[in-house]
Structure 1
Amino acid sequence: MFIALLVIVVLLPAARFALFLSLPAGDGRLTEMVELGKGRPLRAVAQELESRGIVSSARLFTLYARLMGGDSRVKAGVYLFDNGMRPSRILSKMLTGDVYQRLFALPEGYSSFQVAEMLDKRGIFTKEKFLMACRDEVMLSQLGIQAPSAEGYLFPGSYNILPGRTEQEVVREMIERQQEFLKNGVRNRLKARGLSEVQLLTLASMVEKEAVQPAEKPLIAAVFQNRLKIGMRLQSDPTALYGVRAFAGKVSRDDIMKETPYNTYRIPALPPGPIGNPGRDAIEAVLSPPSVPYLYFVGRGDGSHQFSRDLASHNNAVNKYLKAPPAPPRGTK
Structure 2
Amino acid sequence: MFADQSKKKPRKNKLKLWIAVVALLFIVIAGGLSFYVKSALEPVDQNNKKAINVYIKEGSSLSKIAAKLKEQHLIKNEKVFIFYAKFKHASRFQAGNFQLNQAMEPTEIIDKLTNASNVPAFKLVIPEGKQLSQIAEIIAKQTNYSEQEVMKKLDSKQFISKLKHKYPNLITGEILTKKVKHPLEGYLYPATYPFHDPNTTLETIIETMIKPTAHLADKYKSQMKHKKLSVHKTLTMASLIEEEATEKVDRHKISSVFYNRLRKKMPLQTDPTVLYAMGKHKSRVVYKDLKVDSPYNTYKNAGIPPGPISNAGETAWEAALNPDKTEYIYFLAKKNGEVVFTKTFKEHSKAKEKYITNNQNH
TM range (shorter): 0.7 to 0.9
Q: Which residue of 2 aligns with 1:179?
A: 214
Change (3 A) 1:78 1:37: same
Change (3 A) 1:214 1:75: farther
Counterparts of residues 181-196 of structure 1 (less than 5 Å): 181-183=216-218, 185-196=219-230
Cα separation, 1, equivalents of 2:356 and 2:163 = 45
- Residues 239, 310 of structure 2: 8 Å contact kept: yes
When the two structures are superposed, what TM-score results if normalisation uses the length of structure 1? 0.86
Q: Select which of 95, 101, 106 maps to 1:76.
A: 95
Change (3 A) 1:26 1:137: farther
For residue 296 of structure 2, give the secondary structure of its aligned residue in structure 1.
coil
Per-residue CA deviation, residues 147-201 of structure 1 (Å, 9 max, x unaligned), is: 1421111111111243222222211221122112211x21221122222211110
- Residues 25, 56 of structure 1: 8 Å contact kept: no
Cα separation, 1, equivalents of 2:55 and 2:291 = 54
Cα separation, 2, equivalents of 1:19 and 1:203 = 66
C-alpha displacement of 1:116: 1.3
Counterparts of residues 11-160 of structure 1 (less than 5 Å): 13-25=33-45, 28=48, 33-70=53-90, 72-101=91-120, 102-144=122-164, 145=171, 146=173, 147-148=175-176, 149-160=183-194
- Write the letter of the residue equivalent to 1:240: V
Per-residue CA deviation, residues 123-151 of structure 1 (Å, 9 max, x unaligned), is: 54211111111112122223222214211
Q: Which residue of 2 aligns with 1:6?
A: none
- Residues 112, 151 of structure 1: 8 Å contact kept: yes
Per-residue CA deviation, residues 251-291 of structure 1 (Å, 9 max, x unaligned), is: 11111121112010111111100000111110011111111
For residue 277 of structure 1, give the secondary structure of its aligned residue in structure 2.
coil
Structure 2 residue runs of 5 or longer lacking an equivalent are 1-29, 165-170, 177-182
List, as ranges, runs of 4+ consecutive aligned residues in structure 1 with deviation greater than 6 Å.
Answer: none
For structure 1, which segment, 13-22 or 116-125, has the greater mean C-alpha deviation from structure 2 after superposition?
A: 13-22
Q: Which residue of 2 aligns with 1:330?
A: none
Cα separation, 2, equivalents of 1:316 and 1:78 = 58
- Write the letter of the residue equivalent to 1:95: T
C-alpha displacement of 1:14: 4.0
- Write the letter of the residue equivalent to 2:242: E
Q: Which residue of 2 aligns with 1:245?
A: 279
For residue 225 of structure 2, give the secondary structure of its aligned residue in structure 1.
helix
Q: Which residue of 2 aligns with 1:4?
A: none
For structure 1, which segment, 261-270 or 152-161, has the greater mean C-alpha deviation from structure 2 after superposition?
A: 152-161
Give the length in aligned residue pairs. 314
Cα separation, 2, equivalents of 1:12 and 1:220 = 79
Change (3 A) 1:33 1:217: same
- Residues 248, 339 of structure 2: 8 Å contact kept: no
- Residues 33, 78 of structure 1: 8 Å contact kept: yes
- Write the letter of the residue equivalent to 2:348: H
Structure 1 residue runs of 5 or longer lacking an equivalent are 1-9, 326-333
Which is helix-richer, 1 or 2?
2
State the structure with more CA Rg: 2
Q: Select which of 312, 317, 322 maps to 1:278.
A: 312
Cα separation, 2, equivalents of 1:297 and 1:178 = 29
Cα separation, 1, equivalents of 2:143 and 2:69 = 26
RMSD: 2.4
Identical positions, percent = 28
